[in-house]
Amino acid sequence: MRVGHENRPLTLTSLGFRSEIETMERTERIERVVSTDEVSKSKVKVGKSSKVKAVSQRKPLEIEAAPFSAKSFSELGLPSLLIERLEREGFTIPTDVQSAAIPTILKNHDVVVQSYTGSGKTLAYLLPILSEVGPLKKENPVCDRAKKNMDIEAVIVAPSRELGMQIVREVEKLLGPVDKKLVQQLVGGANKSRQEEALRKNKPAIVVGTPGRIAEISASGKLHTHGCRYLVLDEVDELLSFNFREDMHRILEHVGRRSSTRQHSSKSPLTRQGERQTIMVSATVPFSVVRAARSWGRDPLLVQARKVAPLESVSPSGPINLPGSSSTSSPTLNLQTQAAVESLPPALKHYYCTSRLQHKVDMLRRCVHALDAKFVIAFMNHTKQLKDAVFKLEARGMISAELHGDLGKLARSTTLKKFKNGEVRILVTNELSARGLDVPECDLVVNLDLPTDSVHYAHRAGRTGRLGRKGSVVNICEEREVFVIKKLQKQLGVPILSCEFVEGKLLVSEEAQS
């Protein structure tokens, strides 16, 4: 029986919010229904590593076992003008998940898009939306006439301000300077009055924001989304958390409308114009997401790299015990660890080295030099120690900056801009940036303080190795913390090799090699 039916009252359970421990079978067991072309097995390499150690210089990044599909964007049904914009931004070949998701979304299917962190999921849903919305869309006189009485056509919801602003920047780059006002950010922490004024003045076609601010402006009557065609829930696993339940309830009720029938393929474009297409995106898909997709969407499909399958084929199952995990582990731990494994980029190398507490910052400096890393993100757990680490790095001639929750919006934006531009070599941060921070050039993640669990480890590690690039994760710990590394290694099922830095080189210990 389908929950959340039109004639039934909305409840937290029907909306899919987490209330019990559920999981899904490994996605590899799902029957393959639609498949795209296989990726070439040859390794792709872009450029060679630069030997220049200037901080501001970006070295070409090597791509190993890249997830690029054999298809081109022109074969995915995108309009020529949009393809030209993509080429101008340096995008010529779609990734696997983009090759699978774009045609599926263009066929008006509700989808859950799942792929590892940094695999190109954002463009996987933005491109089909921009194919139908705004100045880059396909010629369609029927839909153009239907739009005359419509306002906002797409609402994209993100759990964090940083991720929301990142999505806005991606849309603006594709739209160009003339049309960038067609996308409007509605994130918390910004001036609400100015956001409302921009909505009234610019009449955007696409709105990107956080649940609280979108729900707040919607409740004030200044955000009209009943005719909206697309609802995108990015990092939907986070949006299902208890903190967002009331805001998400309002958004789901007021953004577009769901189809009243399961058979929609024969409908005309004009009829479909008033219906909401729901797109959910996440690196992990626990069963709470599956349940929510069934409730909020219509016959949703699960889209993965080179695979599209009906979500109806996914059923609840017991917790999956990972290699090395204890049989006495709690179901919650197993479920969360499974999700963490699925979100890890495949091209990462993991290391750990030991150091005394007072020497950790110097070990970080040696690590950066040994790997010749240009864009480094170092994680710590406490703000005070974080500030001390930045001070010590600067004193040793390493251009560094801090990023944490105590900084204001302007300071955070300025710091991130400097880091992305190569003006800052080491960004020292806390869990604030574990999600939503997108710096494709990041080639090294260092844990100066170990994460609290495998889930947080995966979130941190996902800041490097994006889009198939090489990346390294180095954990600097004390001798008494080595058991934590061993535990993370067993839970995640990835080798974390013991290493040391000698004469400017990273050397893996003989024990780790054996």
In the block, which residue shows the tokens 């290493």? 499
Q: According to the model, what pLDDT value does residue 270 have? A: 37
Residue 304, strand partner residues: 307
CA 451 remoteness from chain centre: 19
Q: According to the model, what pLDDT value does residue 274 have? A: 52
- Do 246 and 310 lie in one domain? The reply is yes
Q: According to the model, what pLDDT value does residue 470 have? A: 87
Query: Cα separations (Å) of 283 from 22, 82, 210?
Result: 17, 26, 19
- Do 137 and 224 lie in one domain? The reply is yes
- Structural domain contains residue 247: yes
Residue 475, strand partner residues: 352, 447
- Structural domain contains residue 296: yes
Specify whether the CB–CB gap between 352 and 497 falls below 8 A. yes
- Do 363 and 238 lie in one domain? The reply is no
- Structural domain contains residue 424: yes
- Among the candidates 269, 291, 317, a domain finishes at 317
Q: What is the extent of the structural domain holding 461?
A: 334-513
Sequence-separated (6 or more) residues with CB below 8 Å from residue 119: 67, 95, 96, 97, 305, 345, 466, 467, 468
Q: According to the model, what pLDDT value does residue 288 have? A: 84
- Structural domain contains residue 30: no
The three-class DSSP label of residue 109 is coil
- Do 289 and 188 lie in one domain? The reply is yes
The CATH number for 399's domain is 3.40.50.300
- Do 384 and 496 lie in one domain? The reply is yes
In the block, which residue shows the tokens 């015990």? 321
Burial tier of 191 (Cβ tally within 10 Å: 0-12, 13-18, 19+): exposed
- Do 340 and 313 lie in one domain? The reply is no
- Do 354 and 410 lie in one domain? The reply is yes
Residue 234, strand partner residues: 281
Question: pLDDT tens, position by position, for the chain (514 residues)?
Answer: 444 444 444 444 444 554 443 434 433 433 333 344 443 444 334 343 443 334 444 444 343 334 445 568 888 889 999 999 999 988 888 988 999 999 999 999 999 998 888 888 999 999 999 999 988 887 654 445 344 545 799 999 999 888 999 999 999 999 999 899 999 999 998 899 999 999 999 999 999 999 999 999 999 999 999 889 999 999 998 899 899 999 999 999 999 865 444 444 444 433 444 589 999 998 878 778 888 998 988 999 999 887 888 887 765 433 333 333 333 344 444 555 666 677 788 889 999 999 999 999 999 999 999 999 999 999 999 888 999 999 999 999 999 999 987 888 788 889 988 998 999 999 999 876 556 677 888 999 999 999 988 888 988 898 898 877 889 999 999 999 999 999 999 988 899 999 999 989 999 987 666 6
Residue at 51: amino acid letter: K
- Do 476 and 357 lie in one domain? The reply is yes
- Do 119 and 240 lie in one domain? The reply is yes
Q: How many domains does the chain have?
A: 2
- Structural domain contains residue 379: yes
Q: According to the model, what pLDDT value does residue 53 have? A: 38
- Structural domain contains residue 6: no
Q: What are phi and psi of 24, to 5 degrees?
A: -125, 155
CA pair distance 212, 88, nearest whole angstrom: 35
Q: What are phi and psi of 496, to 5 degrees?
A: -115, 105
- Do 350 and 214 lie in one domain? The reply is no
**Which tokens belong to 175?**
């739209």
- Structural domain contains residue 38: no
- Do 123 and 262 lie in one domain? The reply is yes
Residue at 318: amino acid letter: G
CA pair distance 278, 230, nearest whole angstrom: 6
Q: According to the model, what pLDDT value does residue 324 have? A: 36
- Do 206 and 309 lie in one domain? The reply is yes
Q: According to the model, what pLDDT value does residue 218 have? A: 94
Q: According to the model, what pLDDT value does residue 136 have? A: 84
- Structural domain contains residue 27: no
Specify whether the CB–CB gap between 303 and 35 falls below 8 A. no
Q: According to the model, what pLDDT value does residue 162 have? A: 86
The three-class DSSP label of residue 353 is strand
Predicted TM-score (pTM) of this structure: 0.69
